[in-house]
Amino acid sequence: MSRNADADTNSKTNKTRNRNSMIKFSEDNNGELRTETFNRDEGSASFAITTNPNSKASSLFIDLPNGSIRLSGSEARTLYRLLNKHYTFTGKPV
């Protein structure tokens, strides 16, 4: 199987995963606001972002099957801007 065929197969598989996943919003006991994915398939990445309303500091958390990534609010905004510009450039909807 060619490399492109592998990518197409993986792409089709990924589109059918996490059909029951959702995004929820919450506020913890300290008043931090949190937006996160939940009900994702086992082995899938999960994502959350928190913001302290007093300090306005945010953190983005990406939990992968083999590790975790934490980005500051400014790093998360840079990632958002990169993705937004890329999808605009390619003509794909965000």
Residue 29 lies inside a defined structural domain of this protein? yes
CB atoms within 10 A of CB 27: 10
Q: Annotate 49-62 with b (16+ C-beta within 10 A) or e (fewer).
A: bbbeeeeeebbbbb
Q: In which domain, by residue range, is 60 found? A: 18-90
Give per-residue pLDDT as tens, 21-31. Answer: 999 999 998 99
The domain total for the chain is 1
Residue 3 lies inside a defined structural domain of this protein? no
Residue 64 lies inside a defined structural domain of this protein? yes
Residue 32 lies inside a defined structural domain of this protein? yes
Nearest CA-CA partner of 82 in 90, 18, 42: 90
Rounded to the nearest 10°, the torsion over CA 33, 58, 65, 83 is 110
- pLDDT at residue number 1: 41
Q: Which residues of the chain have pLDDT under 50?
A: 1-12
Residue 74 lies inside a defined structural domain of this protein? yes
CB atoms within 10 A of CB 47: 14
Residue 23 lies inside a defined structural domain of this protein? yes
- pLDDT at residue number 81: 97
